[in-house]
């Protein structure tokens, strides 16, 4: 493979230099004339993200999203790796289903990927591990779209097996109260923060020493209860139900949006959060047009996650170092996969960012969903994303290179 040179790239420390890539890895940082040059015009080049919580749909849900459109969205948002959570249809609980899902991803994906195994009463844990499940879960300790709540007995039995196999288990922790849900406020009250904490404590008590990672934590009040690692989604960090129209289903997700005070408290505790992950969960425009009580929960987010965070960096509300830590270094470390970096020998997963924010518009995004809860919010988008040394996304154009399937 001929060398690729990203010339005049600005590194995180402010240095302007060339980044030379050969055979999918960074071979030199410094002036270079040997290879195809792409002038970055002093734009910021940082490691491309690993989004460890996405739902790529596909199969019978392909009207919502498929591996092609979902990973195009990821690349256009500055992510080079995605990890698919298995509340797909059918549940990813057998060797055969798992192999089929991986093969779909191999054929269609524009980025690197991992695929998690389901935690269900019928899951073939040993078979899924042998076939390459990167992790397990979302383990539904609270019900959500396409995922029924597991009993404590099933959680206990599953965690005992997965602890023995030293597998990472990602946990959806919610308590769902029985009440009518007709607007965003009802939805939040039906899945309260107190229930999130209660369920975290339950799973902790049943862990058998398993490696636990708690998904989409919706309140800073939950932090102290967590044993293991956790993630926060951009929608809980940046949105709240008080500033949305009460019955707008585009802001319905599980866990729900919280009060403005709680959302701001979450953002104020940004430095305590180990991972930001999108929980990309697309549904069609028609599905979201249903009345509130019937509309599915979930929002698209893989393409907007990094742009939203980079805009916070632009506004000097958070540091660039913290963004790289929470979207690259920490998720890769938790998943036990190699993390890219801007250093010689590192895998060349690189995102080159614009220097100015732009308004987020659904019409400019690439998910099949066709809508976004972040409409008209500011985002700083990448101009180019390199995956394994190949330019997969550049100025609105895509090309598919060789992707890596990350497995246990």
Please report, for residues 36, 343, 357, the alpha-carbon distance to residue 29 in angstroms, rounded to integers and kept in the order given.
15, 7, 28
Q: For residues 133 and 407, is the Cβ–Cβ distance under 8 A? A: yes
Q: How long is the chain?
A: 408
Based on the residue annotation, tell me whether 279 is a catalytic residue of this protein.
Answer: yes
The phi and psi torsions of 107 (rounded to 5 degrees) equal -70, -35
Which residue among the candidates 18, 124, 279, 349 is catalytic per the annotation? 279
Q: Which two tokens stand for residue 116?
A: 């998690």
CA neighbor of 263 nearest in space, from 233, 240, 242, 294:
240
Q: Is 266 exposed, middle or buried (0-12, 13-18, 19+ CB in 10 A)?
A: buried
The phi and psi torsions of 5 (rounded to 5 degrees) equal -115, 120
Q: What is the number of alpha carbons within 13 Å of residue 263 lying toward its C-beta?
A: 18
With a CB cutoff of 8 Å and minimum separation 6, the contacts of 382 are 76, 77, 78, 306, 307, 351, 352, 353, 354, 393
The phi and psi torsions of 285 (rounded to 5 degrees) equal -60, -40
| Rounded CA separation 203/127 (Å) | 24
| Rounded CA separation 266/314 (Å) | 19
Residues with a known catalytic role? 279
């Amino acid at each position: 493979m001929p060398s690729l040179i990203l010339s005049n790239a600005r590194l995180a420390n402010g240095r302007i230099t060339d980044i030379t890539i050969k055979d999918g890895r960074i071979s030199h940082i410094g002036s270079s004339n040997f290879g195809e040059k792409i002038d970055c015009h002093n734009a910021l080049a940082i490691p491309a993200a690993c989004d460890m919580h996405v739902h790529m749909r596909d199969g019978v849900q392909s009207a919502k999203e498929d591996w092609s459109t979902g990973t195009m969205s990821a690349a256009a948002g500055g992510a080079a790796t995605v990890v698919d959570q298995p509340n797909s249809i059918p549940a990813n609980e057998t060797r055969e289903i798992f192999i089929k899902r991986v093969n779909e991803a191999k054929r269609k994906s524009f980025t690197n990927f991992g695929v998690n195994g389901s935690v269900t009463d019928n899951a073939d844990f040993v078979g899924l591990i042998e076939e390459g499940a990167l992790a397990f879960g979302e383990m539904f300790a609270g019900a959500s779209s396409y995922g029924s709540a597991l009993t404590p007995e099933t959680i206990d039995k599953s965690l005992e097996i997965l602890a023995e196999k030293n597998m990472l288990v990602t946990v959806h922790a919610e308590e769902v109260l029985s009440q009518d849900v007709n607007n965003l406020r009802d939805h939040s009250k039906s899945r309260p923060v107190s229930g999130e904490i209660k369920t975290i404590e339950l799973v902790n008590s049943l862990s058998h020493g398993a490696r636990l990672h708690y998904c989409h934590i919706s309140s800073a009040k939950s932090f102290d209860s967590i044993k293991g690692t956790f993630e926060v989604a951009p929608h809980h960090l940046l949105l709240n139900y008080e500033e949305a129209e009460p019955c707008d289903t585009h802001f319905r997700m599980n866990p729900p949006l919280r009060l403005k005070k709680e959302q701001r408290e979450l953002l104020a505790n940004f430095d305590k959060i180990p991972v930001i992950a999108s929980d990309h969960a697309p549904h069609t425009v028609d599905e979201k047009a249903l009345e509130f009580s019937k509309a599915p929960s979930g929002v698209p987010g893989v393409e907007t996650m990094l742009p939203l965070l980079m805009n916070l960096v632009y506004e000097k509300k958070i540091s660039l170092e913290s963004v790289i830590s929470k979207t690259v270094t920490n998720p890769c470390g938790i998943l036990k996969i190699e993390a890219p970096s801007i250093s010689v020998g590192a895998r060349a997963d690189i995102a080159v960012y614009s220097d100015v924010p732009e308004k987020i518009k659904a019409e400019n995004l690439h998910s099949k969903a066709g809508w976004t809860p972040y409409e008209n919010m500011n985002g700083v988008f990448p101009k180019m994303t390199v995956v394994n040394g190949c330019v997969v996304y550049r100025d609105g154009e895509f090309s598919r290179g060789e992707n890596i399937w990350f497995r246990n």
